[in-house]
Chains A and B, each alone.
Chain A
Amino acid sequence: MNRVVLENVTLRFGSNVAVDDLSLEIPGGSFFSLLGPSGCGKTTTMRLIAGLETPDAGRIWIGDQLVFDAATRTHVPPANRGLGMVFQNYALWPHMNVRDNILFGLRVRKVTKADQVARLQRVLERLQIADMAERFPNELSGGQQQRVALARELITDSKVILMDEPLSNLDAKLRIDMRVELKQLHEETGGTIIYVTHDQIEALTLSTEMAIMKEGVLQQLAPPSEVFRSPANMFVASFMGSAPINAFELDIRPDRLEGHGIRLPVPPGRMDRVRSGDRVVVAARPEELSLLRAATPWSVAGTVTSVLPTGYTAFVRVDFAGGGGHVTAEHDLRTGVVTAGDRVHVAFDPETLHLFDAATQQRL
């Protein structure tokens, strides 16, 4: 029972609402990511779970323990929540060597010497830092410091470990290695990991479940694949994905969607909640579009105006013939070369097409 539950949690800093009526259920044993742009309240949410901040309203459970309840003013101090936490800058104590850093928690909690030695040995070996026990943090590389910080949390056998952007200070290559390591660690320990990041690739590759936040409000709570394929609203759709998403506000006609030089059929079974005359946002990621030589019912004609190759693929900008609109499509160069000036048909895929209510920005 290592689940973490937040129920209607709100935190204000003065007039600024950092976390707004947030409810989350984080299943025990999950790798749960909190994802969002900076200032979205993800780190604050984690600090609320840790007990480093106190909410103004709501309740928080860790396992079966009610650690915060605004109604009874219950606030269990961080030390008694049974959590581990890896900080963004690792927060290794610079005046203690690796051994003392890792053993600090056990010593404070008066664990026996014999137990300390055994557990230390175990985590040192697991994280491959056994030969660094006597070194001080400033004598370690970023990746080694990261391992020490992980060891410090693993040794306490916490069932829930919080991680605040733990990989953001590492270089790109090391970051990829550590991702693999983190995933393995999670599978071995079976504990719950709550992971804060602004890097969607990290969230997508590591999480079993993720929450996307914006300005303190939860936007979507789902497994990564679902977040990517079925974004709950326009914000999530544009936040996810490596290249900016293409989006058009179109008018709904009885038999078609129209505007910006685009004319598309009405996608079957997805227009129940809107009526003819309303407006709808149609969005497609560059990789969800394809360039064709011949027209289909789901294509729009246009002219290539720029080609930015990135290896096997290229980002191709196409200006629509009917005036106004343009899209960026990711085109596989191995299927044929395009150059500026080519006349092409941009095909939308009715299966992956994202539709949002223009008024509410919610998914249809």
Chain B
Amino acid sequence: MSASPAVPAPRWRLIVNVLLQYVRSPFHVLGGLFIVVFGYLIVVPLLEIVLSSWQVQDGDARRTGAEVGTWTSYYWHRILIGPLSGRLFWEPLVNTAVVSAGFTGLAMLLGTTLAWLVLKTDIGMRRFIGFAAIIPYILPSWTLALAWITFFGNDRVGIGAAGVWQSATGITPPDWLGYGPLPIIIVLAVNYSAYSFLLASAAFATIDSRLEEAAVLHGVPHGRILRSITLPIILPALGSAFILTFANGIGTFGVPAFLGIPVRYNVLATSVYQSAGIGRFGDAFALTLVLVGIAGAIIVLNNLIMGRRRQFTTMTGKGSTYKRLALGRLRKPVTALVATFVAVAAFVPITLLVWQSFQLRLGDYSLSNLTLAYWTGEVYGIRGILVSERVRAAAVNTLVTGLTVGLVTAFLGMLIGYVVTKRRGTLLARLVEQISFIPFVIPGIALAAIYLTMFAQARGPIPSLYGTVWILILAFMVARLPFASRSGISSMMQVGGSLEEAAEIHGAGFWTRFRKVLFPLAKRGFLTGFILTFVATVKDLSIVVLLATPQTMMLSALTFGYVDLGQRQFADAIGVVIVTIVLACTFAVQWITKTNPLQGFGGDAK
């Protein structure tokens, strides 16, 4: 043995060696960095608004009769008990529950039925239906809301122009059909049905067909197999998706803003927006906390239930479908009905927006009313969107923000994936995974309200970020973190492990390993993550309505502003531009990955 007798090492040597070990380990360096940075960007703000909701805010000294910064129950009292609590909180709470449960349920029903028809029956036009069904999910949900107003709006509410229906029939559609809970539920359900369609398709496609074949051999009729075997097997997966969508949906902003606010129908998200918009941040914080609390509780509950039951254990089949159900005489009518439905949902909204953007006067659907003024001309001294300095600046800002967020977030996602998969199950890995998932339960509007106040003044070494593009970049980065880290983790699971260790043994340092081994192997995932984050940033309305300023205008915020001013044609034209960008990028991803990019990027209601 070359074992020399153990001489006690000097203390400094020990400390240096321990430090060396940590500094040399990318797992510890990156993990530690993530905890600090995300702690500061995610956990600290949450704790801060908890405190702030119990402290007198700027400008409320007179109302509360106490100095700014002192402890008060004023805000919680105001939203929970006070005379305005109904208007501020209880009504929006009930509305949120109604809308979320309504649209999630309807979307699940639509999506699952569609998936069953496409995958398990001999319905015709299968490819077309599969393609068209996902379009509404790619579009920003608020463009669907605008299109809804264009069709069902009447001349008494909102922009005060007759919709297509009113113009064509002369019958004034009732207000409840143009605005309020029903249209909100329908629009969101159409938007999300594509998501549940993808999910249910995956479930139907991967269910082990031998389970069904076993029943066929026992002579069980088709309908009975669906009822007693297929559905029960995929139900847990769908149930979990329902819960996640519901949790995410309670924070959805754009659609209720366009379809609810004009008739004073508020959900919690629009309530936060209105409180923050008039500077009542105490109320906004309390409402935000309720939103985050409900979403968080639902997620925790879901994990508790799903943790005990592994839902996918039986869904390991190769996806060979046993004999499709013959629809027989019903085949033609069912095909026509379904094809029409998905076609209407996919193409009519865009068509309506395009059409309206060419209307000189709103609500006049004659050919003589068509104009290019809102695109390339000038109306009321406002230049058309293709020749407007303002729109160009917003477009540049949107692209710069989107590209930066996309790159940074996709890159972060990979590094997070590295840390989480490198030593699965260690405290540091678990902490990084959990902390990067927290933003999933913070609705965009809530995150915006938090960052608006947090970064309004200088904080330590960080100067005031409000009015700069950085606050937008930070907010979007945090908002997309759960999705980026999920995809980073899954791609690192595939490429990590021995491939990296082999390079390590051959003398490659971390950056060499990352550049030469990990990144090249995960670059498809990176590219997909990058583009999807870019798309989400361009689509988003909930973050930009509070954080975009005239100096840092974003296209979607511009749309929101034009709708507010009643200049729908400008709003529609910009909406069309956004839709074009979004569709082009999504199909680019589809082309790059040769798969459906939307699969696995669940419940993304912002």
Given A5-B2, A72-B9, A108-B508: A87 in contact with B498 (beta carbons within 8 A)? yes
Residue B168 interfacial (CB < 8 Å): no
Q: How far is the CB of B274 from chain A (nearest CB, A)?
A: 50
Residue A25 interfacial (CB < 8 Å): yes
Interface residues of A in 57-111 (CB under 8 A from B): 59, 61, 64, 71-75, 77-80, 83-85, 87-89, 91, 93-95, 104-105, 108-109
User: Across the interface, do A91 and B506 meet the contact criterion of CB distance under 8 Å?
Assistant: no
The interface residues of chain A lying within 8 Å CB-to-CB of B508 are: 79, 104, 108
The interface residues of chain A lying within 8 Å CB-to-CB of B17 are: 72-75
Return the CB mask of B485-528 against A: 1 if under 8 Å, else 0.
Answer: 00000000000011101111111110010001100110000000
**Option from B24, B503, B506 in Cβ contact (under 8 Å) with A156:** B506
**Option from A25, A61, A73, A75 in Cβ contact (under 8 Å) with B14:** A73
Return the CB mask of A123-159 against B: 1 if under 8 Å, else 0.
Answer: 0000000000000000000000000000010001000
User: Across the interface, do B505 and A85 meet the contact criterion of CB distance under 8 Å?
Assistant: yes
Given A72-B9, A73-B14, A73-B21: A91 in contact with B2 (beta carbons within 8 A)? no
The interface residues of chain B lying within 8 Å CB-to-CB of A95 are: 520-521
- Complex Cα gap A227–B487 (Å): 49
The interface residues of chain B lying within 8 Å CB-to-CB of A105 are: 506-507
The interface residues of chain B lying within 8 Å CB-to-CB of A78 are: 501, 504-505
User: Across the interface, do A79 and B506 meet the contact criterion of CB distance under 8 Å?
Assistant: yes
Q: How far is the CB of B149 from chain A (nearest CB, A)?
A: 50
User: Across the interface, do A85 and B6 meet the contact criterion of CB distance under 8 Å?
Assistant: no
Measured CB to CB, the nearest residue on chain B to A64 is B2
Residue A52 interfacial (CB < 8 Å): yes
Residue B223 interfacial (CB < 8 Å): no
- Complex Cα gap A5–B2 (Å): 8
Offer 8 A-B interface pairs, CB within 8 angstroms, sorted by A.
A71-B6, A73-B18, A73-B21, A85-B505, A88-B498, A94-B521, A104-B503, A152-B506
User: Across the interface, do A87 and B3 meet the contact criterion of CB distance under 8 Å?
Assistant: no
Q: Which residues of A contact B (CB under 8 A)?
A: 5, 7, 25, 50, 52, 54, 59, 61, 64, 71-75, 77-80, 83-85, 87-89, 91, 93-95, 104-105, 108-109, 152, 156
User: Across the interface, do B21 and A84 meet the contact criterion of CB distance under 8 Å?
Assistant: no
- Complex Cα gap A302–B503 (Å): 61
Residue B328 interfacial (CB < 8 Å): no
User: Across the interface, do B501 and A72 meet the contact criterion of CB distance under 8 Å?
Assistant: no
User: Across the interface, do B505 and A79 meet the contact criterion of CB distance under 8 Å?
Assistant: yes
The interface residues of chain A lying within 8 Å CB-to-CB of B14 are: 72-73
Given known contacts A104-B508, A108-B506, what 16 new A-B pairs fall within 8 Å (CB)? A7-B1, A61-B2, A74-B17, A75-B17, A83-B505, A84-B505, A91-B498, A91-B502, A93-B503, A94-B499, A95-B520, A95-B521, A105-B507, A108-B503, A108-B512, A109-B506
User: Across the interface, do B517 and A93 meet the contact criterion of CB distance under 8 Å?
Assistant: yes
Residue B460 interfacial (CB < 8 Å): no
User: Across the interface, do B507 and A93 meet the contact criterion of CB distance under 8 Å?
Assistant: no
Measured CB to CB, the nearest residue on chain B to A79 is B507
Given A52-B501, A73-B18: A104 in contact with B506 (beta carbons within 8 A)? yes
- Complex Cα gap A152–B507 (Å): 13
Interface residues of B in 169-215 (CB under 8 A from A): none
Measured CB to CB, the nearest residue on chain A to B4 is A66
Measured CB to CB, the nearest residue on chain B to A63 is B2
- Complex Cα gap A50–B503 (Å): 12
User: Across the interface, do B9 and A75 meet the contact criterion of CB distance under 8 Å?
Assistant: no
Residue B8 interfacial (CB < 8 Å): yes
Residue B13 interfacial (CB < 8 Å): yes
- Complex Cα gap A91–B1 (Å): 34
User: Across the interface, do A79 and B498 meet the contact criterion of CB distance under 8 Å?
Assistant: no
The interface residues of chain A lying within 8 Å CB-to-CB of B21 are: 54, 73, 75
- Complex Cα gap A95–B498 (Å): 15
Measured CB to CB, the nearest residue on chain A to B506 is A105
Return the CB mask of B410-449 against A: 1 if under 8 Å, else 0.
Answer: 0000000000000000000000000000000000000000
Closest 3 CB pairs of A and B: A105-B506, A91-B498, A73-B17
User: Across the interface, do B498 and A25 meet the contact criterion of CB distance under 8 Å?
Assistant: no
**Option from B9, B501, B507 in Cβ contact (under 8 Å) with A91:** B501
The interface residues of chain B lying within 8 Å CB-to-CB of A94 are: 499, 521
The interface residues of chain A lying within 8 Å CB-to-CB of B512 are: 108
The interface residues of chain B lying within 8 Å CB-to-CB of A54 are: 21
Q: How far is the CB of B3 from chain A (nearest CB, A)?
A: 5
Measured CB to CB, the nearest residue on chain A to B517 is A93
- Complex Cα gap A282–B500 (Å): 49
Q: Which of B2, B20, B499, B512 has the most CB of A within 10 A?
A: B2
Q: How far is the CB of B76 from chain A (nearest CB, A)?
A: 42
Q: How far is the CB of A2 from chain B (nearest CB, A)?
A: 13
User: Across the interface, do A87 and B18 meet the contact criterion of CB distance under 8 Å?
Assistant: no
The interface residues of chain B lying within 8 Å CB-to-CB of A52 are: 501, 504-505
- Complex Cα gap A52–B25 (Å): 11
- Complex Cα gap A5–B3 (Å): 9
The interface residues of chain B lying within 8 Å CB-to-CB of A61 are: 2-3
Measured CB to CB, the nearest residue on chain B to A65 is B2
Measured CB to CB, the nearest residue on chain A to B21 is A75
Q: How far is the CB of B16 from chain A (nearest CB, A)?
A: 9
Measured CB to CB, the nearest residue on chain A to B503 is A104
User: Across the interface, do A25 and B502 meet the contact criterion of CB distance under 8 Å?
Assistant: no
Q: Which of B8, B516, B520 has the most CB of A within 10 A?
A: B516
- Complex Cα gap A84–B502 (Å): 9
Measured CB to CB, the nearest residue on chain A to B24 is A77
User: Across the interface, do B501 and A87 meet the contact criterion of CB distance under 8 Å?
Assistant: yes
Given A5-B2, A77-B24: A89 in contact with B498 (beta carbons within 8 A)? yes
**Option from A25, A72, A74, A108 in Cβ contact (under 8 Å) with B507:** A108
- Complex Cα gap A25–B24 (Å): 29
Measured CB to CB, the nearest residue on chain A to B513 is A108
Measured CB to CB, the nearest residue on chain A to B502 is A91
User: Across the interface, do B3 and A93 meet the contact criterion of CB distance under 8 Å?
Assistant: no
- Complex Cα gap A54–B25 (Å): 12
User: Across the interface, do A93 and B499 meet the contact criterion of CB distance under 8 Å?
Assistant: yes
- Complex Cα gap A104–B499 (Å): 12
The interface residues of chain B lying within 8 Å CB-to-CB of A59 are: 3
The interface residues of chain A lying within 8 Å CB-to-CB of B13 are: 72
The interface residues of chain B lying within 8 Å CB-to-CB of A88 are: 498
Q: How far is the CB of B579 from chain A (nearest CB, A)?
A: 36
Q: How far is the CB of A216 from chain B (nearest CB, A)?
A: 18
Q: How far is the CB of A93 from chain B (nearest CB, A)?
A: 6
Q: Which of B14, B24, B506 has the most CB of A within 10 A?
A: B506
Q: How far is the CB of B127 from chain A (nearest CB, A)?
A: 30
Q: How far is the CB of B329 from chain A (nearest CB, A)?
A: 50
The interface residues of chain A lying within 8 Å CB-to-CB of B6 are: 71
- Complex Cα gap A88–B501 (Å): 12
- Complex Cα gap A187–B579 (Å): 68
- Complex Cα gap A52–B502 (Å): 10
User: Across the interface, do B3 and A7 meet the contact criterion of CB distance under 8 Å?
Assistant: yes
Measured CB to CB, the nearest residue on chain B to A23 is B1
Q: How far is the CB of A151 from chain B (nearest CB, A)?
A: 13
The interface residues of chain A lying within 8 Å CB-to-CB of B501 are: 50, 52, 78, 85, 87, 91
- Complex Cα gap A337–B1 (Å): 55
Given A5-B1, A71-B6, A105-B507: A85 in contact with B502 (beta carbons within 8 A)? yes
The interface residues of chain A lying within 8 Å CB-to-CB of B1 are: 5, 7, 25
Q: How far is the CB of B445 from chain A (nearest CB, A)?
A: 42
The interface residues of chain A lying within 8 Å CB-to-CB of B521 are: 93-95
Q: How far is the CB of B13 from chain A (nearest CB, A)?
A: 6
- Complex Cα gap A88–B516 (Å): 21
- Complex Cα gap A91–B18 (Å): 30
- Complex Cα gap A161–B288 (Å): 59
The interface residues of chain A lying within 8 Å CB-to-CB of B18 are: 73
Given A5-B3, A73-B21: A91 in contact with B499 (beta carbons within 8 A)? yes
Given A25-B1, A64-B2, A95-B521: A71 in contact with B504 (beta carbons within 8 A)? no
The interface residues of chain A lying within 8 Å CB-to-CB of B499 are: 91, 93-94
Q: Which of B17, B502, B504 has the most CB of A within 10 A?
A: B502
- Complex Cα gap A7–B6 (Å): 12
Q: How far is the CB of A44 from chain B (nearest CB, A)?
A: 13
Q: Which of A5, A88, A91, A94 has the most CB of B within 10 A?
A: A91
